[in-house]
């Protein structure tokens, strides 16, 4: 049975969302959904669980760490692989993201090939 894998891209920048999707567009059987903030991402989670989430930390309405905490506090969402993709280079942000359930931590600007490698690795491990 054919099954399309879903990637949820959560970033307040439409340009970054487009760049992420373009970087992963070559993957087979992938569909993309986009959220411009953390609250919108949580609404989308409630509709359908993605196979992978790519999440910014600095967003209006709800910070990325709060999204990670929400996911960890709800069994039905726990275990979603999450790549944090952010401008925050500091060790505290990295630690907070990984401690709160992020699978990978990447900084912007990002290398499309590295993002693709991380995405494939996480999608294949599920």
CATH of the domain at 36: 3.40.50.2300
Residue 39, phi then psi, degrees to nearest 5: -65, -40
Question: Would you say residue 126 has pLDDT above 80?
Answer: no
Q: How many domains does the chain have?
A: 1
Closest CA to 101 of 83, 85, 87: 83
- What b/e string do you get for 37-52 counting C-beta neighbours within 10 Å, with b at 16 or more? bbbbbbebbeeeebbb
How many Å apart are CA 31 and CA 126, to the nearest integer?
16
Question: Would you say residue 2 has pLDDT above 70?
Answer: no
Instruction: Residue 94: give the domain boundaries.
Output: 5-124
Count of C-beta atoms within a 10 Å radius of residue 79? 13
pLDDT in tens, 46-94: 999 999 999 999 998 899 999 999 999 999 999 999 999 999 999 999 9
Q: For position 125, what pLDDT does the model report? A: 83
Question: Would you say residue 28 has pLDDT above 70?
Answer: yes
Q: For position 61, what pLDDT does the model report? A: 87
């Amino acid at each position: 049975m054919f099954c399309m894998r879903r990637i949820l891209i959560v970033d307040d920048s439409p340009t970054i969302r487009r760049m992420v999707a373009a970087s992963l567009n070559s993957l087979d059987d992938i569909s993309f959904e986009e959220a411009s903030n953390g609250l919108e991402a949580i609404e989308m989670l409630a509709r359908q669980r993605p196979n992978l989430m790519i999440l910014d930390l600095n967003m209006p309405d709800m910070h990325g760490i709060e999204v990670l905490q929400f996911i960890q506090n709800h069994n039905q969402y726990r275990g979603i692989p999450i790549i944090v993709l952010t401008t925050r280079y500091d060790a505290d942000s990295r630690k907070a993201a990984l401690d709160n359930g992020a699978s990978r931590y990447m900084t912007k600007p990002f290398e499309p090939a590295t993002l693709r490698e991380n995405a494939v690795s996480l999608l294949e491990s599920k």
